[in-house]
């Protein structure tokens, strides 16, 4: 049997950054894009398919009866190079942070603000990851995916992917149908730093560099800021930002600001809407650094839910539900969870 189709049971505790106890009945590591037809045929024998990359944005059920496909393909290549831009392709299993750093090193600029975001390149368009004023969709060109249902390879552009804030076509598609194989980004030759977020504007190294700031300066500053604010999943299990920053219309924002001076928000859509800082709402609701059983919100960043040890998907969802209810009661704002519940027993997790 080809290595691609080597299926085993697998403890997934180390395949999700939340460190949840989870067991896969059938686990397959995808090292190559060969034999994808066999992958579709194999998947048909199971009740479903779960696609797993770096495991940084998932809440895994205690047991997964689906076929778990762990995407572990590697490689970055320059696809096109002209006077105005470069086109770069990354295989889906590549570490996102390593890819961003490689781009900085090779002069492919634009993604510096997205440094140190955990996960893989294949997961980036699914979540449409973003940070410090930049989203991956700002430079996204296209991707290659395998359609498990039709057993065929397809290319998809920005219009096909339906990118929105922390959202895409893939988040609403049938679970396990699409396996992203490679992602392409186009970077312009002319680079302009995005330093609008206060944390970046205040960073000493960037302030010192002034108009001479470089992509490497921005990359290093973002890494400094994230390391100071966010726990390393290798040291304290977490899935990064657990809730999306809610977006409200300008009228609602003004009412909230009047009721809650100091409300942290950023204008979007030319000021017709505002993105509220979910971490600020959670902190004001009293959950920064507070625990409920084995899980809690981080002491330095209220937006990050952490597993202090031994937590299950049920523990995660109980705390998420409590926080949502308390924020809704205090502010009248609904928080939406970012990590996706995966597994046939995901119902146990809410």
CATH at residue 171: 3.30.465.10
81 plus 219 within the same structural domain: yes
DSSP conformation class of 131: E
The share of the chain scoring above pLDDT 90, in percent, equals: 86
What's the confidence (pLDDT) of residue 250? 96
Are 18 and 239 in contact by the 8 Å Cβ rule? The answer is: yes
47 plus 163 within the same structural domain: no
The Cα 135–Cα 240 span in angstroms is 16
The Cα 72–Cα 324 span in angstroms is 35
**Tokens, residue 158:** 């920005």
Last residue of a domain, one of 226, 247, 277: 226
What's the confidence (pLDDT) of residue 344? 55
Number of domains into which the chain is organized: 3
262 plus 194 within the same structural domain: no
What CATH code is carried by the domain that includes residue 248? Answer: 3.90.78.10
Are 320 and 274 in contact by the 8 Å Cβ rule? The answer is: no
Helix ranges, the chain (H):
36-43, 96-106, 124-127, 158-161, 169-172, 198-202, 204-209, 215-229, 250-259, 278-284, 313-331
For residues 62, 64, 65, 69, the Cα torsion angle rounded to the nearest 10 degrees is: -160
219 plus 88 within the same structural domain: yes
Last residue of a domain, one of 226, 248, 269: 226
> At how many degrees (to 10) do helices 96-106 and 215-229 cross?
150
337 plus 327 within the same structural domain: yes
pLDDT digits (tens, 9 = 90+) for 21-49: 999 999 999 999 988 999 999 999 999 99
Phi, psi of 256 (to 5 degrees): -65, -40
Last residue of a domain, one of 168, 202, 226: 226
What's the confidence (pLDDT) of residue 270? 85
What's the confidence (pLDDT) of residue 35? 86
136 plus 205 within the same structural domain: yes
51 plus 81 within the same structural domain: no
What's the confidence (pLDDT) of residue 148? 96
- Print the domain residue range for 122: 76-226
pTM: 0.89
**Sign of CA pseudo-dihedral 35, 38, 40, 43:** negative
The Cα 206–Cα 285 span in angstroms is 33
167 plus 293 within the same structural domain: no
What CATH code is carried by the domain that includes residue 28? Answer: 3.30.43.10
221 plus 233 within the same structural domain: no
What's the confidence (pLDDT) of residue 350? 33
206 plus 248 within the same structural domain: no
Kindly list the catalytic residues.
Answer: 166, 241, 338
The Cα 321–Cα 310 span in angstroms is 19
Residues in the chain, pLDDT under 70: 1-4, 344-350
What's the confidence (pLDDT) of residue 1? 40
What's the confidence (pLDDT) of residue 177? 95
177 plus 297 within the same structural domain: no
206 plus 265 within the same structural domain: no
DSSP conformation class of 345: T
């Amino acid at each position: 049997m080809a290595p691609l189709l080597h299926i085993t049971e697998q403890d997934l505790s180390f395949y999700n950054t939340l460190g949840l106890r989870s067991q896969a009945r059938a686990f397959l590591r995808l090292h190559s894009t060969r034999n994808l037809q066999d992958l579709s045929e194999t998947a048909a024998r199971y009740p479903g398919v779960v696609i797993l990359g770096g495991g940084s944005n998932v809440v895994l059920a205690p047991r997964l009866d689906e076929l778990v496909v762990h995407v572990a393909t590697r490689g970055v290549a320059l696809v096109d190079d002209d006077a105005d831009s470069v086109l770069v392709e990354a295989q889906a299993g590549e570490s996102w942070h390593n890819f961003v750093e490689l781009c900085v090193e090779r002069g492919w600029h634009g993604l510096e603000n997205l440094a140190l975001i955990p996960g893989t390149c294949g997961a980036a368009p699914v979540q449409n990851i973003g940070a410090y004023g930049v989203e991956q969709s700002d430079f996204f060109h296209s991707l290659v995916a395998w359609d498990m249902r039709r057993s065929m390879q397809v290319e998809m552009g920005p219009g096909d992917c339906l990118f929105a804030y922390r959202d895409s076509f893939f988040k609403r598609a049938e679970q396990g149908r699409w396996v992203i194989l490679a992602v392409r980004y186009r970077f312009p030759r002319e680079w302009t730093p995005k330093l609008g977020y206060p944390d970046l504007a205040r960073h000493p190294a960037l302030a010192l560099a002034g108009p001479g700031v470089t992509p490497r300066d921005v990359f290093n500053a973002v890494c400094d800021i994230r390391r100071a604010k966010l726990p390393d999943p290798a040291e304290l299990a977490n899935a990064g930002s657990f809730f999306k920053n809610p977006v409200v219309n300008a009228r609602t924002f003004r009412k909230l600001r009047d009721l809650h001076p100091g409300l942290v928000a950023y204008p979007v859509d030319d000021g017709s809407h505002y993105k509220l800082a979910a971490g600020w709402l959670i902190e004001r609701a009293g959950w920064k650094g507070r625990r409920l059983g084995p899980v809690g919100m981080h002491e330095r960043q209220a937006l990050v839910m952490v597993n202090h040890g031994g937590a299950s998907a049920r523990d995660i969802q109980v705390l998420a539900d409590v926080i949502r209810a308390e924020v809704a009661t205090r502010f009248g704002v609904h928080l939406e969870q970012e990590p996706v519940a995966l597994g046939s027993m995901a119902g146990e997790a809410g």
